[in-house]
């Protein structure tokens, strides 16, 4: 259809909150003179996985940034709330739209909803309907084993990706961007009530974005511009020593792009294109290591698509009968960072303060919950879902199942991370623990990860009274490891 015809396309955005590298938006701008960009808050349409509280706090600011970017181009973001089907119908009628475009999502409940909406829209005479891939390097059905089956082990999938290298070519920012002089009705951003204080809660998210965060971590800047700024900072700094620094939680050695990826403010295809501009697999070892992590992210979405029960049920069926414990008090101590295990508590407190946690520490707190406390991984996954600004269903589910030992390519169940030795290895001076557990700040580094091993005099000099200033360990690490291994023997 010629762009000179006065027709209207609706671009329905979800987790693709950007202008650049957005195929649905680029197609609409190239084919239609009037483009209406809409975001619909549809909790029911997400099944039982509507965004958690921390994600909503991020979403508020991401939508704010996107609307500002559109207004700079004489357009605007239209906000609606409710059933996506009904809201799209109203918008089509209001705008006399001739096309509806969106970028695909891969969560089970959303796929089912989108398929129904696509079928309904396709039955409307004269209405163009099309969906696009905006987030994945390889869509889940585009890559498979030699037997045509989905991958369940990452390394062969990564090898396939390298041997059949695909150089992404993300779309540029549409030029010129169609002005929207007669925008349809829209809710205000505050009417969506995404921030906690708009729901009558304390403003617990202020520390994510406005207060000075604990060094070496910096404030989040949601939105497309914030994503590219974060990438530039990473490319100029930590990327060049990525393999060595990525596991050190006291160092800003990771990209910290995960929330930007989760909300589609930047995409994996864009990152691969930027990091591999010659269209070939990366020759630089540091870049290769980071791109491999992006491929691991692709693996998670591959698994969720082919095994839609991933968020609730173990991928390895034998774990269905695993003898998990029920202990709400123990779960709450873990959630509050009051386990008495310093690096575990530091991670859980970082999560509460920043809405984010270092990846190495995520593995440690997950191992402690599922192995030392013997509590079900689903409880941890749900807590992360509500408290992480970067929560997405595939990575969250895959990560928890990996650590619990019940997923694809999972760490063997008998691999129980020792949080003391892990802390000594990756936080040798205790800087990470001191940041987030200040009660231990004066403790010498040889005791920082096991304060119970310090003498009474050492604890007194550090201003610590066990049980008052910092809790005693809630479990014995060795005995709880043995208990976990005994539970494993029951299902082998």
The whole-angstrom distance between residue 180's C-alpha and the CA centroid of its chain comes to: 32
- Alpha carbon distance 64, 43 (integer Å): 19
* CA 378 – CA 313 distance, rounded (Å): 8
Distance of CA 28 to CAs 80, 118, 177, 362, Å? 20, 17, 10, 40
**Pairing of the two strands 34-41 and 77-81:** parallel
* Catalytic, out of 133, 160, 288, 359: 359
> Which candidate in 400, 402, 418, 488 is catalytic?
400
Q: Return the DSSP state at 316.
A: S
Rounded CA gap, 7 and 95, in Å?
9
HSE of 379 in the Cβ direction (CA atoms, 13 Å)? Answer: 21
DSSP for 249-297, please give it: TTS--S---HHHHHTTSS-HHHHHHHH-TTSS---SHHHHHHHHHHHHH
What DSSP element (H or E) covers 155? helix 154-163
Cβ(280)–Cβ(167) below 8 Å? yes
Tell me, yes or no, if 359 is annotated catalytic: yes
User: What are the structure tokens assigned to 178, written together?
Assistant: 């169609």
C-alpha 378/C-alpha 183 separation (Å) is 43
* 76: three-class secondary structure by DSSP: coil
The DSSP code for 372 is I
* Residue of 377, 383, 402, 488 marked catalytic: 377
Catalytic residue, from 160, 204, 274, 296: name it.
296
- One of 139, 204, 288, 324 is an active-site residue; which one? 324
**How far apart (Å, rounded) are the C-alpha atoms in residues 230 and 38?**
26
Q: Which of 293, 326, 465, 482 is catalytic?
A: 293
Alpha-carbon dihedral 293, 296, 301, 302, rounded to 10 degrees: 150
Contact 207, 313 (CB under 8 A): no
Angstrom distance (rounded) from CA 485 to CA 259: 35
324: annotated active-site residue: yes
What is the secondary structure of 418-468 as a DSSP string?
A: -HHHHHHHHSTT-HHHHHH-GGGTTS-TTTTT-GGGS-HHHHHHTT--BTT
Give, rounded to a whole angstrom, the gap between the first and last alpha carbons of the chain. 61
101 to 11, 26, 51, 93: CA distances (angstroms)? 5, 10, 23, 16
Which residues are marked as active site?
A: 293, 296, 324, 359, 377, 400
């Amino acid at each position: 259809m010629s762009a000179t015809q006065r027709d209207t396309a609706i671009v329905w955005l979800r987790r693709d909150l950007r202008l650049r590298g957005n195929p649905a938006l680029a197609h609409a701008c190239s084919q239609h003179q009037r483009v209406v960009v809409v975001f619909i808050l549809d909790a029911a349409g997400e099944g039982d996985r509507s965004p958690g509280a921390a994600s909503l706090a991020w979403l508020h600011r991401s939508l704010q940034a996107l609307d500002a970017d559109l207004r700079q181009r004489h357009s605007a973001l239209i906000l609606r709330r409710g059933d996506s089907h009904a809201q799209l119908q109203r918008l089509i009628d209001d705008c006399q739209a001739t096309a509806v475009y969106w970028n695909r999502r891969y969560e089970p409940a959303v796929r089912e909803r989108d398929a129904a909406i696509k079928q309904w829209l396709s039955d409307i005479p004269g209405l163009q309907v099309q969906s696009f891939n905006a987030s994945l390097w390889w869509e889940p059905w585009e890559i498979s084993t030699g037997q045509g089956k989905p991958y369940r082990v990452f390394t062969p999938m990564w090898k396939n990706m390298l041997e059949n290298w695909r150089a992404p070519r993300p779309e540029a920012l549409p030029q010129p961007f169609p002005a929207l002089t007669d925008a349809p009705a829209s809710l205000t951003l505050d009417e969506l009530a995404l921030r906690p204080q708009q729901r009558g809660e304390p403003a617990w998210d202020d520390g994510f974005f406005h207060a000075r965060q604990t060094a070496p971590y910096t404030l989040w800047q949601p939105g497309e511009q914030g994503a590219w700024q974060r990438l530039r900072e990473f490319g100029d700094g930590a990327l060049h020593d990525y393999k060595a620094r990525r596991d050190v939680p006291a160092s800003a050695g990771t990209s910290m792009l995960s929330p930007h990826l989760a909300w589609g403010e930047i995409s994996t295809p864009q990152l691969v294109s930027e990091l591999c501009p010659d269209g070939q697999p990366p020759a630089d070892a540091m870049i290769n290591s980071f791109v491999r992590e992006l491929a691991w992210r692709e693996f998670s979405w591959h698994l969720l698509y082919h095994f839609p029960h991933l968020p609730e049920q173990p991928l390895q069926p034998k774990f269905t009968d695993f003898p998990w414990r029920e202990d709400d008090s123990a779960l709450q101590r873990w959630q509050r960072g009051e386990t008495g295990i310093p690096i575990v508590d530091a991670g859980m407190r970082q999560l509460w303060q920043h809405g984010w946690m270092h990846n190495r520490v995520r593995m440690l707190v997950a191992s402690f919950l599922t192995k030392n406390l013997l509590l079900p991984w689903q409880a941890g996954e749900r807590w992360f879902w509500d408290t992480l600004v970067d929560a997405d269903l595939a990575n969250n589910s895959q990560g928890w199942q990996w650590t619990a030992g019940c997923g694809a390519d999972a760490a063997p169940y008998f691999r129980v991370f020792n949080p003391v030795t892990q802390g000594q290895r990756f936080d040798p001076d205790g800087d990470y623990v001191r940041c987030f557990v200040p009660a231990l700040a004066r403790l010498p580094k040889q005791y920082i990860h096991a304060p119970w091993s310090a003498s009474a005099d050492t604890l007194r000099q550090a201003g610590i009274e066990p049980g008052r200033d910092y809790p005693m360990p809630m479990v014995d690490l060795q005995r709880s490891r043995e208990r976990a291994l005994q539970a494993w023997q029951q299902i082998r």
